[in-house]
Amino acid sequence: MASEILTAVKQPYSNFNPFLPPSSEALEHRVYSPEEELLITELIPLANTIATDPEIASAFGVMKWEEMGDSDRSRRFSGKHPLPERKINGEEYVYSVPVVAGILPLKDKWDGTVRYSAISVMKDNWREDPDAWRVTWLDLQTGETSRIDVFGVTIDTKRHADIVLKPDNYGNIPPLSRPGIGRVPMRDLERITVKLDKDYHAWQAQYSDGLRQSGQIIDIELLNEAMVRAMGVRIDEEVFGDYTGQQTEEDGKPVTSPAITAAQYIVSATVNEPTLSGTA
């Protein structure tokens, strides 16, 4: 398995109104399709988790800043976020193309609960080998982030792409037993399937573990909308309602409510490097 050195290419920050989410005006006029509304509803539980769990909010804020970019697709990685970079076997890779930035909800096969993961796929714009693709996975239950190596990518004439992921134990598999044509079926491998536009952006993405589970990867634009809706309810309850949580710390300083912490995420992690108060 190729070794990698992870760094980041710094990009300039932008000026913006710190009191409003950058996309607030657009959100007021955004009309979602019935299918998108169902997906937004599916993400409300995750939005509430981010609002109430500072560690998960912090982990996702960092993931979004470093690997996913702006919630607005038209502004995603438009110079306001660092571009991931790595060196593999002496070769420099800069991942400037945001292919996939989304949330994968999957039901746990044992207890049926829905588990959420954040998935990013980025590409080096000047290379076509498997290492030109960068896949990052954040478990939104534990806050653990992992980088997954890519086995290979195929793109057909209609721009449908199969991004096949290397098995965890690939380096320990004898060469003659490794996946490949005429050997272990490629269809049994974990993969991300996408429909690409000419710039390698994917507006549709599906995940499959190659065996029994698969699901849609929902773009983070819809998570942002779910968070805006969930935060509106929570801010009404916690700031303007009868919020009965602990209001002050021992030193008498006011405690930042979970909803405000999550709202800070929406603002800061969208444009600036995330700095969340009240997080670990």
Opening angle at CA 28, ends 26 and 33, nearest 5: 85
Sequence letter at residue 60:
F
Q: Is residue 194 part of a domain?
A: yes
Its pTM stands at 0.75
Residue 238 has pLDDT above 80, yes or no: no
- Compute the distance between CA of residue 258 and CA of residue 72 in angstroms, rounded to an integer: 24
Average predicted confidence (pLDDT) for the chain: 77
Range 165-191 average pLDDT: 70
pLDDT digits (tens, 9 = 90+) for 32-63: 899 999 999 999 999 999 888 889 988 998 99
Mean pLDDT lowest among 49-58, 60-69, 85-94, 168-177: 168-177
Domain that holds residue 60: 34-243+256-271
Q: Is residue 235 part of a domain?
A: yes
Residue matched to tokens 């309850």: 237
Number of domains in the chain: 1
Contact (CB, 8 A) for 162 and 153:
yes
Q: Is residue 135 part of a domain?
A: yes
Q: Is residue 187 part of a domain?
A: yes
Residue 67 has pLDDT above 80, yes or no: yes
Burial class of residue 119, CB neighbours in 10 A (0-12, 13-18, 19+): buried
Dihedrals phi, psi of 45, to nearest 5 degrees:
-60, -40
Q: What pLDDT does 237 receive?
A: 58
Range 205-227 average pLDDT: 90
DSSP result, 189-250: S-EEEEEE-TTS-EEEEEEE-SSS-EEE-EEHHHHHHHHHHHHHHHHHHHTSS---S--B-T
pLDDT-above-70 percentage for the chain? 66
- Compute the distance between CA of residue 11 and CA of residue 122 in angstroms, rounded to an integer: 17
CA atoms within 13 A on the CB side of 76: 27
Q: Is residue 10 part of a domain?
A: no
pLDDT band at residue 206 using 50, 70 and 90 as cut-offs: very high
Q: Is residue 89 part of a domain?
A: yes
